[in-house]
């Protein structure tokens, strides 16, 4: 009988072959440390209008309830840091949305990964997750030794920073488990100091209802609250400020995924071109992109809100 050490090594080797930068494994169980944090965060309405965060509370904290009989959680990191970025003095979108939607690209890799597991181990119960189910991705990546959760709530890897997509395979096979690593944020407050909407709190909590990404992606109302007018620093889809200022991201290296490369027009778009964008150009530039989450109407709402960049009367 092949040992769990052999299976673990095969899985980590396959992760590298498929292009994942890091792979860690932890025991599938109840996240006792996260339970009170999540409950407190929800009770303080830090999820804003993201009602879905209230759903499946038990499954969100316990992968054995999500995948019955599961014994291991394989956590994976896939680099999206771009080689080229948007020009200066323009309206900005998060780097993760430069290319094609990561959900589809990574999900296809995970399906291939599970096929490999079936070939090597046999018919096992394995479910894949890419930011599309009640799984606390960052908590599992931390538990699997891939990094620590920074003050900006991002998973920070000490070798390559935080510009990564996270994904999981939860399966009913016992493997060798990795150990958590130390939190190396120390006394640094770069992300807290840089956040223009003061969404990052001193106690390692992010108030999601104040985050620029929340306003520009998750908030579906036609009008963005006037209280945050003038505080978006030209971000119209998502926000990378807390990652851009993080000292650990000096170790970020460009990804090797062609499907994440942006349309050249996007990189050179001026502010005037953004404000004059038509639905036809939107469809051309953001075909298959995560930016389509806001639809054309949502993106133009954001652009108009940021373009009219006057602080509210006090």
Residue ranges covered by each domain of the chain: 4-85+94-171, 190-254+262-307
Q: What would the mean pLDDT of 151-173 be, rounded to a whole number? A: 98
DSSP 3-state assignment of 24?
Answer: strand
Instruction: Encode pLDDT of 38-64 as tens digits.
Output: 999 999 999 988 888 888 888 899 999
Q: What would the mean pLDDT of 195-220 be, rounded to a whole number? A: 94
Fold assignment, 4-85+94-171: NADH Oxidase (3.40.109)
- pLDDT band of 314, cuts 50, 70, 90: very low
DSSP one-letter code for 235 = E
Output the pLDDT for position 236. Answer: 98
Pairing, β 164-171 against β 126-129 = antiparallel
Q: What would the mean pLDDT of 299-306 be, rounded to a whole number? A: 97
For CA atoms 259, 265, 266, 268, the dihedral sign is: positive
pTM: 0.94
Residue 86 Cα distances to 72, 89, 211, 262, angstroms: 40, 9, 21, 10
More confident residue, 311 or 204: 204
Is 193 annotated in the active site?
no
Q: Is the pLDDT of residue 312 over 90?
A: no
- pLDDT band of 117, cuts 50, 70, 90: very high
DSSP string, 165-224: EEEEEEES---PPPPP-----TT--HHHHH-TT--EETTTEE-GGG-HHIIIII--SSS-
What CA–CA distance (Å, rounded) separates 53 from 196? 24
DSSP 3-state assignment of 148?
Answer: strand
- Which of 62, 101, 131, 172 is an active site residue? 131
Output the pLDDT for position 311. Answer: 44
């Amino acid at each position: 009988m092949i040992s769990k050490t052999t299976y673990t090594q095969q899985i980590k080797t396959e992760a590298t072959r498929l292009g994942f930068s890091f792979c860690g494994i932890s025991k599938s169980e109840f996240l006792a440390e996260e339970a009170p944090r999540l409950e407190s965060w929800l009770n303080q309405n830090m999820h804003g209008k993201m009602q879905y965060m209230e759903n499946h509370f038990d499954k969100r904290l316990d992968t054995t309830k999500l995948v019955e009989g599961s014994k291991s959680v394989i956590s994976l990191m896939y680099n999206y840091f771009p080689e080229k970025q948007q020009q200066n003095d323009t309206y900005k979108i998060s780097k993760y949305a430069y290319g094609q939607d990561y959900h589809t690209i990574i999900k296809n890799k995970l399906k291939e990964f599970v096929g490999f597991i079936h070939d090597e181990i046999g018919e096992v119960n394995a479910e894949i997750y890419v930011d599309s189910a009640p799984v606390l991705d960052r908590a599992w990546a931390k538990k699997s030794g891939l990094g620590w959760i920074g003050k900006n709530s991002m998973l920070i890897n000490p070798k390559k920073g935080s510009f990564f997509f996270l994904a999981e395979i939860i399966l009913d096979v016992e493997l060798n488990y990795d150990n958590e690593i130390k939190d190396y944020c120390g006394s640094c407050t770069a992300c807290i100091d840089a956040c223009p909407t003061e969404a990052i709190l001193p106690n390692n909590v992010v108030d999601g209802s104040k985050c620029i990404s929340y306003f520009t992606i998750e908030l579906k109302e036609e009008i963005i609250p006037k209280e945050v007018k003038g505080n978006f620093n030209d971000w119209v889809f998502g926000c990378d400020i807390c990652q851009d200022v993080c000292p650990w991201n000096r170790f970020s290296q460009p990804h090797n995924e062609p499907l994440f490369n942006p349309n050249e027009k996007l990189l050179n778009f001026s502010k005037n071109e953004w404000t004059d964008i038509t639905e036809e150009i939107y469809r051309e530039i953001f075909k298959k992109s995560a930016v389509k989450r806001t639809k054309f109407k949502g993106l133009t709402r954001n652009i108009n809100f940021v373009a009219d960049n006057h602080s509210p009367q006090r």
